[in-house]
Amino acid sequence: MSKASVSNTSESTLDNVLALVAALPNLPGVYRYFDTNDQVLYVGKARDLKKRVSSYFQKNLSSPRIAMMVAKIARLETTVTRSEAEALILENNLIKALKPRYNILFRDDKSYPYLKITQEKTPRMTYFRGAIDKKHHYFGPFPSAWAVKESMQLLQKIFLLRSCEDSVFSNRTRPCLLHQIQRCSAPCVDLISAEDYQSDVEDASNFLRGRQSIVLAKLEQKMLGYAQNLAFEKAAVVRNQMSALSKILHQQSMELAGDADIDIVAVVVEGGRACVNLAMVRGGRHLGDRSYFPSHLELLQTTPNDGIEKEVMIAFMAQHYIDQFIPHQIILNVEIDAPELMLALMEQCGHKIHLSFQPQETKRAWLDMAEKGARLALARALSEQGTQQLRTKALLDVMELEIADIDLFRIECFDISHTQGEATQASCVVFHHHAMQNSEYRRFNIQNITPGDDYAAMRQVIYRRFEKFANTAEESSDLQAIMPDIVLIDGGKGQVEVARQVFVELGLDTSIIVGVAKGEGRKVGLETLVFVDGREPKELGKESAALMLIAQIRDEAHRFAITGMRAKRAKARQTSKLEDIDGIGPKRRQKLLARFGGIKGVEDASVEDLMAVDGISRVLAEEIYQRLR
């Protein structure tokens, strides 16, 4: 692969960009646009880089928003690939990694749960989330944890498989409660033979693969064999298994489609927002669905023959299925024509993928359910969005602020947390687009202050956060994209005064600082807003929508600070166990922690193991051994 880039200059930026565009090859690849702050604006792929990138710099663009983006381009990079399919994979990996402002984005949620059946002498089933391997059998992915646990309950009822941890299993001397309520065959105390238990494991695996008829036939043959050998109790157990399985199959008769693995994807666009509902069928069983809401939908550029629904569908399939399990059949409610996408997905999974747009019978019902689910989820999201906008509007009224676009209203809230001066940490949480933005949260380790001095801690965190804006507040045209509209301080007049002093030192607008002072008895609803611009403090009252929003932001800042402080404190206290031992200085402590991988490893080490570390004598090793017990 090859790369090309151009640097931004104050006057000839566009000329430099156009010169680079003219030199682009007529080859497939990926292009990336950057603004003057070197923030990525857009990532795209092209069959012909020169032709595609050149189209952005024509005089008449079909979309005003695309024209707005092009006006911000200060630099571009391109990567040449061997094929359009390879470009598609690279494009979507970059979109997920860079989160460009002008790309449609889906939340990168690849952590789907699986049901795992271990490969050991006495296999067990367990809920699993993470990277799968070849050591065990994995079934899924499932759309939710609930779907996995429901399947595990079915396997317990029908096949009586164990779900306990190995440590529990190996130490049992009598059957547990699960055996007593007929949810486990108690292999831990040999109430079932190893051969029969392995047979149940095999039947459970076949059931999860959708091979229910094979399982029923095998169980019937087993039951008859027990009966012929006069083992009526064992025959009764198998009979009960068959009865439970038949009941389950009857309940799911409308869902069964052989042993098929199918995904059903429905897109609905309303009210300026879109919802993608993904339903999963595994082994012929409908396991439920999950809804996704793409961001940056308003930035999509569509043609008369290519609606928003198609763009959303293509973007979802590209971002969702790259590096993800892909079933043989995908049912869609929007017809798409994306041969390069399907080629890339088939190259990835190694099998053909059949797209169905007009399914029949049960599959038609599945698609209708998915589309209805998307409409319901979207209606709920639009309702919540309206409520969130009303809360933001109420807060703006209380703050006496006029914001041109309330969707861009941004609050950063700061809080300090420590335990009697130990492990002091500050938190900064962000409210933007009517919601908390977890990915933008930050923690600050506070150092070189008198333990317990909250004012000094607040001064340090405010200075560190905003020092980059010193003397640039009136010069940067992009300041509102970085600087908050409100700096919310969890504290009263003292903390607010410290923040005001820092802003004055940095030459920033102090009027955006607002404190939240706790009321009498620290009761929610009695808080007071403290301003620095001469306005009188405000008590909003329990029924205030603005207060509820402020309380939410303030509580989130407190939660984020205290969890970070506790983690820092726990780490410090663990290390201090070694510091309290005479003869253990920084160098020896470092050697011990490096040798044993942490304080837990040192605690588990024997005297001989400790003596193997350079500088640790037998006397010192015995002292360490005794002190850490």
Residue 451 lies in a domain: yes
Q: Which distant-in-sequence residues (6+ apart) come within 8 Å of 431 by Cβ?
A: 410, 411, 412, 413, 437, 549, 553
How far the first Cα of the chain sits from its last, in Å, is: 57
Looking at residue 441, which CATH number applies to its domain? Answer: 3.30.420.340
Average pLDDT score over residue span 63-75 = 79
Q: Which of 98, 117, 146 is the last residue of a domain?
A: 98
594 has pLDDT over 70: yes
Are 495 and 419 within one domain?
yes
246 has pLDDT over 70: no
Q: Which distant-in-sequence residues (6+ apart) come within 8 Å of 75 by Cβ?
A: 5, 6, 7, 8, 13, 17, 33, 34, 38
Are 278 and 417 within one domain?
no
State how many domains the chain has. Answer: 4
* Tokens found for residue 628: 């850490």
422 has pLDDT over 90: no
pLDDT for the residue numbered 402: 80
588 has pLDDT over 80: yes
Residue 44's beta-bridge partner residues? 31
Residue 267 lies in a domain: yes
Concatenated DSSP letters of 308-321: HHHHHHHHHHHHHH
CA distance linking residue 47 with residue 26, whole number of Å: 8
* Tokens found for residue 248: 């389950």
Of 562, 523, 522, 566, nearest in space to 416 by CA: 562
What percentage of residues in the chain have a pLDDT greater than 90?
7
Contact 592, 602 (CB under 8 A): yes
Contact 24, 50 (CB under 8 A): yes
Are 423 and 559 within one domain?
yes
Of 470, 503, 472, 476, nearest in space to 489 by CA: 503
- Residue 130: DSSP 8-state: S
The confidence band for 216, taking pLDDT boundaries of 50, 70 and 90, is confident
Calculate the alpha carbon distances from 315 to 89, 104, 310, 481 in Å.
Answer: 12, 7, 8, 26
Between 427 and 297, name the one with better pLDDT. 427
Are 553 and 418 within one domain?
yes
pLDDT in tens, 311-340: 889 888 888 887 778 888 999 999 988 888
Between 297 and 550, name the one with better pLDDT. 550
Question: Average model confidence (pLDDT) for the chain?
Answer: 79
478 has pLDDT over 50: no
175 has pLDDT over 80: yes
Residue 383 lies in a domain: no
170 has pLDDT over 60: yes
Residue 496 lies in a domain: yes
Query: Letter for the amino acid at 295?
Result: S
What are the residue ranges of helices labelled H in 32-144? 49-54, 64-72, 84-98
* Domain span including residue 362: 262-378
Residue 157 lies in a domain: no
Residue 154 lies in a domain: no
CA distance linking residue 216 with residue 218, whole number of Å: 5
Average pLDDT score over residue span 135-161 = 81
Residue 555 lies in a domain: yes
Burial class (CB in 10 A: 0-12, 13-18, 19+), 441: middle
9 has pLDDT over 80: no
Burial class (CB in 10 A: 0-12, 13-18, 19+), 350: exposed
Q: Which distant-in-sequence residues (6+ apart) come within 8 Å of 473 by Cβ?
A: 479, 483, 507, 508, 509
pLDDT in tens, 519-559: 665 555 667 888 887 788 887 776 677 888 888 888 888 88
CA distance linking residue 157 with residue 80, whole number of Å: 55
Q: Which distant-in-sequence residues (6+ apart) come within 8 Å of 505 by Cβ?
A: 463
Are 275 and 341 within one domain?
yes
pLDDT in tens, 85-115: 788 888 888 887 788 888 888 765 556 788 8
Least confident of 221-225, 380-384, 469-473: 469-473
263 has pLDDT over 70: yes
Average pLDDT score over residue span 212-239 = 76
* Tokens found for residue 254: 């409308």
Least confident of 161-170, 397-406, 534-543: 534-543
